[in-house]
């Protein structure tokens, strides 16, 4: 039953339908009656429907008479849509009931088409399911992409937070390290201050003892000035109870007596010191006591102390060895220095400052100890650090005097790497290379230096131009162009030297520029430097 109208024969006759054939199956007959009811409710005629929709009138007649059952749902859906337009929409229950009647009729009347219809509907459902699944998958993909984006955003935020935290942690660690370094530096300075306090207190006690002995000696001399034969003994006796434990303490006491003008007491103390103080392996302490003995001209005492100390002393730093050798030489103990020199080369640390090695080479050269000096020179030429220009100059001087081949080897190492910004050091190195006849090395050094050397002293510039001109006039001209623009112009005599050198090079235009700079600048001497010995106008192109 439907919600449309009662099924009565009179109604069928009134609608113009023929009676259904008795040969129709019950399923088809039931479907045909329901279809006629829907058709009547829609108010359609066959001609009007055929004119409106793509279906012929014969097919419509067969549908309504039960002679043919529509294969698909189109005809039923179209009639129900017409009813809905007229405001007579059926419920979903009625729609499902009509669909079921339609399928039962189709199954009986046209089994093949029924199967096609069932499969088609299943396919349609499958397609719908597929589309739904695809839609759901797309939704999931969008959700997944959103989650991934959120995760990436969180990861990025975490990374930024971690980076910020790392920066903060690095800053805190740097601050902690800085504070720890400051603490260590302060602790070191505090220890040094405490050591200075202790040394000062010790020094004060020493000076108090010395003052007391001097005052005692003076009162004794005043009380018994007639006993002149005891003056030396009195001087010796006045210092007999002063404590002498280390060379450093003895040297300080000797210096105090010497500076106080109490030479007799100092000499008496020196005699005690060289035999009583403990021998140390520290070359600095040994040299300090030797220096004080030498200042007192206590040659015998100095010799005694050197004989005791030199066999025991241990030297690792070249500067300490050089100082002790110098003291031995000046104390007229060259023989001890000569005996000790081979030990120095064997024991000294050969990773030290280049300038200290040069100082040691100088002392060995002055003593005339060739073999140890040559051994040290050969090592220095191969191994010393060659970046510091002044240290390289110093050691080049000593190597040239001791062992020219070693000097050349060092020069080959130094020229590519040595710092060439200091004009004075550069000038001295060029002079040394010229003395070694190392013209190619000197030119290579000049090529490196001219673009970067600091232009300051006009005097050095004049001398350097002279040296470079010997090597290559073009290089000298390049240096002159820099010197004219930047050299100092405050000293007129230095300006004259530079002008004369420019004239000797034939650089008249540059000389004129320098003269113009000088005449424009302030002159503390109150006169034109070009007029001292050189006429600047003579440097012009028509000179």
Do the beta carbons of residue 523 and residue 529 sit within 8 Å?
A: yes
Whether residue 366 has pLDDT greater than 80: yes
User: CA of 238: how far to CAs of 174, 209, 230, 540, in Å?
Assistant: 60, 10, 11, 81
Whether residue 527 has pLDDT greater than 50: no
Q: Which two tokens stand for residue 77?
A: 């859906």
- Reported as a single tens digit per residue, the pLDDT across 375-418 is 888 888 888 888 888 889 998 998 899 889 998 999 999 999 99
Query: What number is the average pLDDT over the span 35-47?
Result: 89
Query: What number is the average pLDDT over the span 425-430?
Result: 91
Whether residue 525 has pLDDT greater than 50: no
Q: How confident is the model at residue 446 (pLDDT cuts 50, 70, 90)?
A: very high
Q: What are 529-535's contacts with CB under 8 Å, separation 24+?
A: 529/489, 529/491, 529/492, 529/493, 529/495, 529/496, 529/499, 530/495, 530/496, 530/499, 532/492, 532/493, 532/496, 533/496, 533/500, 534/496, 534/499, 534/500, 534/503
The pLDDT of residue 18: 83
Q: Write out the DSSP string of 496-522.
A: HHHHHHHHHHT-HHHHHHHHHHHHHS-
**How far from the centroid of its chain's Cα atoms is residue 451's Cα?**
27
Whether residue 178 has pLDDT greater than 80: no
Q: Write out the DSSP string of 298-343.
A: -HHHHHHHHHHHTTT----SHHHHHHHHHHHHHTT-HHHHHHHHHH
Whether residue 132 has pLDDT greater than 60: yes
CA distance 100 to 97: 5
Average pLDDT, the chain: 79
The pLDDT of residue 440: 93
pTM above the 0.85 mark? no
* 166-170, 404-408, 486-490, 491-495: the lowest-pLDDT one: 166-170
HEC assignment per residue over 413-445: HHCCCCCCCCHHHHHHHHHHHHHCCCHHHHHHH
- Which of the listed ranges 15-24, 131-140, 201-210, 399-408 does the model predict with the highest average pLDDT? 399-408
CA distance 346 to 364: 14
Q: How confident is the model at residue 234 (pLDDT cuts 50, 70, 90)?
A: very low
Q: How confident is the model at residue 370 (pLDDT cuts 50, 70, 90)?
A: confident
CA distance 20 to 12: 10
- Reported as a single tens digit per residue, the pLDDT across 267-301 is 888 888 888 888 878 888 888 888 888 888 888 88
Of 8 and 455, more confident: 455
């Amino acid at each position: 039953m439907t919600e449309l109208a009662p099924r009565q024969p009179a109604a069928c006759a009134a609608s113009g339908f023929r009676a259904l054939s008795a040969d129709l199956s019950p399923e088809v007959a039931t479907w045909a009656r329901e279809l006629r009811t829907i058709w009547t409710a829609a108010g359609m005629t066959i001609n009007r429907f055929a004119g409106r929709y793509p279906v012929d009138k014969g097919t419509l007649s067969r549908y309504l008479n039960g002679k043919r059952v529509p294969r698909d749902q189109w005809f039923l859906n179209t009639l129900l849509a017409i009813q809905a337009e007229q405001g007579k929409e059926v419920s979903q229950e009625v729609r499902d009931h009509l669909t079921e009647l339609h399928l039962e009729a189709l199954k009986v009347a046209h089994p093949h088409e029924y199967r096609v219809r069932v499969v088609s509907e299943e396919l349609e459902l499958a397609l719908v399911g597929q589309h739904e699944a695809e839609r759901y998958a797309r939704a999931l993909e969008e959700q997944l992409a959103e989650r991934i984006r959120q995760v990436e955003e969180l990861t990025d935020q975490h990374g930024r937070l971690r980076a910020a935290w790392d920066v903060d942690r690095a800053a805190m660690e740097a601050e902690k390290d800085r504070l720890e370094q400051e603490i260590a530096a302060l602790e070191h300075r505090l220890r040094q201050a405490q050591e200075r306090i202790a040394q000062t207190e010790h020094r004060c006690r020493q000076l108090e003892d010395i003052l007391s002995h001097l005052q005692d000696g003076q009162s004794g001399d005043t009380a018994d000035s007639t006993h002149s034969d005891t003056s030396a003994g009195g001087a010796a006796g006045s210092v007999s109870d002063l404590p002498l434990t280390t060379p450093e303490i003895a040297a300080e006491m000797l210096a105090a007596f010497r500076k106080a003008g109490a030479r007799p007491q100092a000499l008496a103390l020196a005699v005690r010191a060289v035999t009583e103080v403990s021998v140390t392996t520290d070359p600095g302490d040994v040299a300090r006591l030797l220096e004080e003995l030498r200042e007192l001209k206590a040659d015998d005492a100095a010799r005694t102390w050197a004989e005791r100390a030199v066999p025991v002393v241990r030297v690792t730093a070249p500067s300490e060895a050089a100082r002790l050798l110098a003291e031995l030489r000046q104390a007229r103990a060259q023989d001890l220095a000569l005996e000790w020199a081979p030990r120095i080369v064997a024991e000294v640390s050969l990773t030290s400052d280049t300038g200290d090695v040069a100082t040691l080479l100088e002392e060995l050269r002055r003593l005339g100890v060739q073999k140890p000096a040559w051994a040290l020179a050969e090592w220095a030429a191969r191994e010393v650090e060659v970046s510091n220009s002044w240290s390289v100059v110093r050691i080049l001087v000593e190597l040239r005097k001791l062992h020219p081949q070693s000097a050349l080897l060092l020069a080959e190492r130094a020229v590519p790497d040595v710092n060439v910004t200091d004009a004075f050091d550069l000038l001295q190195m060029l002079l040394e290379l010229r003395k070694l006849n190392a013209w190619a090395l000197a030119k290579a050094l000049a090529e490196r230096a001219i673009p970067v050397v600091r232009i300051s002293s006009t005097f050095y510039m004049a001398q350097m131009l002279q040296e470079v001109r010997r090597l290559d006039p073009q290089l000298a001209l390049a240096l002159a162009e820099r010197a004219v623009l930047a050299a100092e112009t405050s000293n007129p005599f230095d300006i004259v030297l530079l002008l004369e050198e420019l004239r000797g090079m034939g650089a008249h235009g540059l000389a004129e520029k320098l003269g113009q700079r000088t005449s424009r600048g302030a002159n503390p001497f109150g006169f034109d430097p070009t007029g001292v010995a050189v006429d600047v106008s003579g440097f012009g192109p028509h000179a």
